[in-house]
A and B are shown apart, each in its own frame.
Chain A
Amino acid sequence: MSILLWLIPLLPLAGAAVNGLLGRKFRFSERLIGTIACGTVALAFVCAVAAVVKYANSPTWPTPYVTSQDGWSFTWIAGGATEITEGQKERAQAGNTTSTRNSDGTLTASSTVKVASARGSVLNIEWSYQLDPLSAIFILIVTGVGLCIFVFATGYMHGDAGYYRFFAYMGLFMFSMLVLVLGSNFLLMFVGWEGVGLCSYLLIGYYFDRKEAGDASRKAFITNRIGDFGFALAVFAVIATFGTAQYTDVMRQASAYPIEMLGTFGIMSWIALGLFIGACGKSAQIPLYVWLPDAMAGPTPVSALIHAATMVTAGLYMVTRTNVIFQHSQTMMLIVAVVGALTALFAATIGITQNDIKKVLAYSTVSQLGFMFLACGVGAFVIGIFHVMTHAFFKALMFLGAGSVIHGMHHEQDMRRMGGLKRYMPKTFWTFIAGWLAICGIFPFSGFWSKDEILWRAAGTNYFSGGWMLWLIGTIAATCTAFYMTRLVAMTFWGRERFREVPAGGEADEAHAHGYDEMGLPHDAQLESAGDRPRHEPGEYVGEPHALPHDHHETRGGDVTDTHAAPHGHAIHEPHESPASMWIPLAVLAVLATIGGLVGIGPAFSGDGHPGGKLNIVNWLAPVVWNPVTKGFGTENEAGGAQARPATTENGHVTAPHEASEAAPYGDTGYNLAHTVERSFGSERAAEWFFILLSIVVALVGMGLGYLFYVKNPRLPDAWAARLRPLYRASYHKYWIDELYGLLVTRRTMDAAVGVYTVDAKVIDGAVNGVAALTRRTSNATGLFDRYVVDGIVNGIAYFIRGIMSRVLRAAQTGLTANYALVMVLGLVVAVLIIFYPDIMAAVRGG
């Protein structure tokens, strides 16, 4: 099994290496590149299936299997000794409780790594992979959905000059993503985390000669970096608290820690906060979601693989992986749920007014990710992951469908120029319909199962009070989802064939007018995705103002060999159906989107718990989730909604006061919508059916509204947009968040850069140069002093000797012996006087 786990990430990496390093040099054909790329991913998928089947049937299930058990690991970073500095107080408390609670944890028995001593530990980060129910689900999604998208991409990217480069990046992405979900410690998660960030950067910027692609890729990377800031600090905190980064050890130690209620923000809350900031960056949650819509500048298969199905769900993986830590902080659970719910609603409202088909899907992705975080926040981690899976199916399907449409429409992305495509692209249409019904939550399509249960669990959460508000927000967001998705389908596949028309002005074409106002150039929706002209940070250098990019189409993929190669500009393209390499993956995903949800049938359909045993994703994943009631992993929460629910009597009150803290680890959370409904219907099952019916009704209302607005009465949208003009504009302009960030963050950072450099040049280097100048001045002064004073004295003496003394002395050199004798006698007298001066004085005085 270890070999399989090692092979899963390495196979795509090998494919990427071959394509990337040799593909250009040896001019690989598209067929060869595609075969290598898809072949390695297919093999990885086979390995993943084999490993998961083997693991599921092994007697140790659900104990995590770490490859180092069998020696398949190496010490990646031998970091040296560490000291435990964080969370000592909690550690001490945990130490008191472990002895009594030890028996509950199912993980404790199998773990072999030693617990860090009280003060110190040695940090050896090992490279090994861990297979447990959670990573099993993820490797299946990543390799399975990934394979579909790879196959699709071989058709979509056909004719692109950088074919080899594209598949090298994609393979590298698969490697990083698989390391992310398979790694056995936080550092390896970080490796994958940054690795997918890099590939996302490279692939968003794949069409690198387009300015907006470059900008979007950089924005994505840096926004993610801000998230990683939190992630990195959280990893530091994990090591400083537990002395190790290995999941199994951390989780085991963490489960003994005391739960931090609202109002206390201890070490667990800090770790969870840091991790969640990271998750917000990667999974595009408020406030770090801004990069994802821009990321649509990448090729559509990339959007499907990275920005819908896999990478953006890494945040969910992380939160679920560390659910022990999150569940130890009531505050953080609340924050996760609220951020998730708000993002779901916020992004959905933006999605309503966007006209670029990929932008709508992007905001839809943000919104759906919000639902998943909402699930995690209310304690339904398993359901969150379930939604990750169903979302991977239907959103990948819809993105690929959109890609197929864009391909068929000759790289037109503006839905206002589509319409009536059903006739031209029936396969794309019918597969898209499956995705549409799934995301709207229509029984029995996959999205229904997960979304319904998220809302139900939100209503019944016991992690904090006010779950009903989250349920309400989620329900409204679900309505919006159904509405804008219907709008998308209607504008694309139904209605008039607007691609035959020259665009008209007016309210619906606000982008045109607006584009004209803002840029001083006529907006041309053929060339740019309408309303989404790249926005630059104010003051940023954007290059020379250039004319409209006429050669725009040449730089893009499929056009080169399009049989429909038509003149650019406003000429009319005939849409066409996509080739088999593209619609077959669509068909596969459509099947999955239709029936994929059946692996998570809820208790309402069976009577007792989630049916299907291990095959039900909820039961499969349950052992991953920590149970705050039993303080163990997955032992008591099979019963779906019963997780963390206090034992209640018929009248809904907690049974006994002294057991309250045991049964309700988060205290009394007050009014609970689900319990109220349950009481009024008299049974849990009836209550669940109530929520199921409600969510179907909600979906139908949204779809009905969409049908009314965009099929039945196409004049309604304009009328309502006029009526709600401020709201419409706010939504259309994405609440001006990008502009706000540009003003507050980007612009200010640049100011700081300029300021710092000015200080550096003027003040600090100024001081250095000042010292130098001062030294030079001083040396000038000393030079002058030297020349006129010091040297002056020397010269003066010389002059004195030469000019004055020489004359005197020359005068003395008379040559007469008598003169010399006189001088000699005078000298003697003086000498005697000096030498015997004291005696003479004494004699004088004495005398």
Chain B
Amino acid sequence: MNIPHLLSIITWLPTIGAVIILALFKKDQASAIKKFATAWFGLAFVASLGLLWYDRTTGGMQMLEDHQWIPLIGARYQMGADGVSVLLILLTTFLGVLAALSSWNYIQKREKEYYALLLFLQTAVVGVFASMDLFLFFLFFEVSLVPMYFLIGIWGGENRLYAAIKFFLYTLAGSVVMLLGILKLYFLTQDTTITAKIGQATLNVVAGNQAARNLITTTLQEATKNGTGTFNIMYLQALGSALPMGTMQILLFFAFALGFAIKVPMWPFHTWLPDAHVEAPTAGSVILAGILLKLGTYGFFRFNLPMFPKASADEIAFRLPLIGVFGVRHVMITLASISIIYGALAAMYFVVKRDGDVKKLVAYSSVSSMGIVMLGLFALNPNGINGAVLHMVNHGIYSGALFLLVGIIYERRHTRKVSEFGGLSHVMPGYAAVFLAMAMTAIGLPLLCVFISEFLALRGVFEYKPSWAAWGALGIILNAGYMLWLYQRMFFGTIDNPKNEKLTDLSGREWAYMLPLVIMSLWIGVYATPFLRFIQQPTNAVVQQVRPDYPLPGRTQTPERAER
């Protein structure tokens, strides 16, 4: 089954909803607005389920769309998704519903603008995952900042302006550098000395199937006709592997890497994240942690690895006194490892401290978790990358859930200080159970989703260098340390704070948005294979780009079979 324009529908449906809200609803119809918006998010989710017909055995880019857009610079409206995009889009639309549902009570002012912005945000994010054109991608990538900026800046906490501006400027600074890289790449597509070296085999690998290959061909024909370069992502990936290794490729790698590393965020570019999380409204935190951070790791997966394969796999580019020879890959893996341990320790600070902020703890644990994704990506083998991609989804599930849980208690008590709680199991057993399930997910208990992805990511890293895997595993011990301690301080013991005595357990609506997350966590944990099948082919393609000699099963046949 192939629904025409499916990706465009999923992308633009939220915008239509936003326009309807802005145009048809009055300011004081708050209740109608939130119900309509939630329903609309539900609609978008249902629409995105069409992506499940992605052909997992063929792989490559599917559901393609191609339209003329700005012929002057060769930018086209091209959409397409591989398995990784499919999972991330589904995650986005899934979390969108829950985020909207969780805002019903939390947001008490300017509901109209709020839900419109949430919908706009979804368009931007889905657009990022669905773009097949780098220019279009960049547009969505940048535009996604705007709704988030307002979500934090208007509906945030006390220090919201500081956090919003910090978030906006920090990410913007990174993407400006990336823009330079994009421009350079664009001009390289017009450089015949390099484009001549692009082999058909490489194009076959990046495209993955016949339709995608045809798309590249027509794009190139259009570009030649208009005398422009091209922004087609698949072509750029093929270009990257033809690009000779050298300063140029490394500079391009870091131009992209900086933009994405800030978004991920990797240590030491992470400090905007805790501030943004603490100030953002619950739904904002859910989207921020669940999806916006994935724009960074998705960028690494989609651009840095396949476009600059030689730089990504590089281990000898630099030399420093005392350290000796090291390469780009070492830099990335070191930063990732530091992120893991550092994020975990920083998170632990908020339970060691008497009145730590639960939300900040979860924010720092995200830094740690995204470190695992980066570690898995730069393992540069199928296990590692499969684990990393799945961990993006899993992190979306569990960190989204933890932020929702923090939001639930915040709505009741208007505080997030650990010291204010204790013995909550007595009054909120349902809440305690869900929190336990999610805390256990976060620390990687088997049969819950994170275990699968952490196992695969670290397994991949072990294949590269066992000692790196050991660092990653150490971070997981620390995760268990602070999560359990947090749980103990919040839920165990007797209620010693009289304000907590009258707390009510989860309401029906709260169950409605927490249960799906618990179910997803269990589902992926118990039977991960269907999810992994989505990302297997795209991952193999990336590995083949980066490490052409990797022993992939049936590797040698793939290009030949594609020739016929």
Contact = CB atoms under 8 A, between A and B. Distances in A.
Interface in A485-525: none
Given A208-B491, A218-B484, A764 B268 contact: yes
Contact of B527 (A76, A225, A750): A76
A211 B494 CA distance: 9
Given A77-B529, A750-B352, A236 B536 contact: no
Of A78, A81, A122, A215, most B-chain CB atoms within 10 Å: A81
Interface string B415-459: 000010011011001000000000010000111000110011011
B542 to A, nearest CB: 11
Contact of A233 (B348, B385, B470): B470
Contacts of A120: 550-553
B477 A74 contact: no
Contacts of B477: 222, 225-226, 229
Nearest to A214: B492
A98 interface: no
B459 A754 contact: no
B536 A80 contact: yes
Interface in A534-551: 540-541, 543-544, 546
Contacts of A757: 345-346, 349-350
A828 B382 CA distance: 85
Contacts of B552: 81, 120
B272 A83 contact: no
B446 A201 contact: no
Contacts of A233: 462, 466, 469-470, 473
Contacts of B493: 208-211, 214, 543
Interface stretch (A190-198, A330-338, A599-607): A190-198
Contact of B422 (A543, A754, A767): A543
Interface residues of A, number: 65
A205 interface: yes
A122 B492 CA distance: 44
Given A81-B381, A233-B470, A754 B349 contact: yes
Contacts of B492: 205, 208-209, 211, 213-214
B170 interface: yes
B445 to A, nearest CB: 5
Given A81-B381, A236-B458, A768 B469 contact: no
A658 interface: no
B99 to A, nearest CB: 27
A90 B540 CA distance: 29
A418 interface: no
A27 B301 CA distance: 51
A161 to B, nearest CB: 10
B366 to A, nearest CB: 14
Most B Cβ at <10 Å: residue of A119, A194, A750, A760: A760
Interface in A4-28: 24
A232 interface: yes
A807 B390 CA distance: 79
A214 B473 CA distance: 25
A74 B527 contact: yes
Interface string A199-224: 00100010011110111011001100
A236 B349 contact: no
B550 A81 contact: yes
A300 B222 CA distance: 77
Contact of A756 (B346, B387, B462, B532): B346
Contacts of B491: 208
B496 A201 contact: no
Contact of B484 (A75, A78, A222, A229): A222
Nearest to A540: B352
Contacts of B488: 205, 214-215, 217-218
B485 A218 contact: yes
Nearest to B387: A79
Contact of B462 (A211, A217, A237): A237
B101 to A, nearest CB: 23
A471 B554 CA distance: 56
B504 to A, nearest CB: 16
B346 to A, nearest CB: 5
B420 to A, nearest CB: 13
A753 B348 contact: yes
A752 interface: yes
Interface string A735-767: 000000000000001101111110010001101
Contact of A198 (B440, B462, B543): B440
B466 A749 contact: no
A702 B502 CA distance: 58
A750 B271 contact: no
Interface string A750-790: 10111111001000110110001000000000000000000
Contacts of A765: 271
A83 B551 contact: yes
B425 A83 contact: no
Nearest to B345: A756
A655 interface: no
A240 interface: yes
Contacts of B551: 81, 83, 117, 119-120
Contacts of A78: 528-529, 532-533, 536
Contacts of B429: 24
A801 to B, nearest CB: 40
Nearest to A768: B271
Contact of B474 (A76, A205, A214, A229): A229
B458 A82 contact: no
Given A198-B445, A209-B494, A218-B484, A76 B529 contact: yes
B346 A229 contact: no
Contacts of A194: 445-446, 451
A75 B536 CA distance: 14
Given A77-B532, A81-B552, A209 B170 contact: no
Given A208-B492, A218-B488, A80 B540 contact: yes
A85 interface: yes
Interface string B125-168: 00000000000000000000000000000000000000000100
A279 B232 CA distance: 53
Contacts of A85: 463
Contact of A239 (B170, B459, B476, B543): B459
Contacts of A755: 345
Interface of B: 166, 169-170, 267-268, 270-272, 342, 345-346, 348-350, 352-354, 381-383, 385-387, 419, 422-423, 425-426, 429, 440, 445-447, 451-452, 455-456, 458-459, 462-463, 466, 469-470, 473-474, 476-478, 480-482, 484-485, 488-489, 491-494, 496, 526-529, 532-533, 536, 539-540, 543, 550-553
15 contacts: A74-B529, A79-B532, A80-B383, A208-B491, A209-B492, A209-B493, A225-B477, A236-B458, A239-B459, A240-B463, A543-B422, A543-B496, A753-B482, A757-B350, A768-B166
Given A217-B488, A218-B484, 15 more contacts: A77-B532, A78-B529, A79-B382, A79-B383, A79-B387, A194-B451, A195-B447, A198-B440, A198-B445, A221-B480, A236-B459, A236-B469, A239-B462, A240-B463, A749-B481
| Top 10 A-B residue pairs of the complex, sorted by shortest distance between their CB atoms | A120-B551, A80-B382, A757-B349, A753-B348, A236-B462, A214-B492, A765-B271, A756-B345, A191-B446, A208-B492
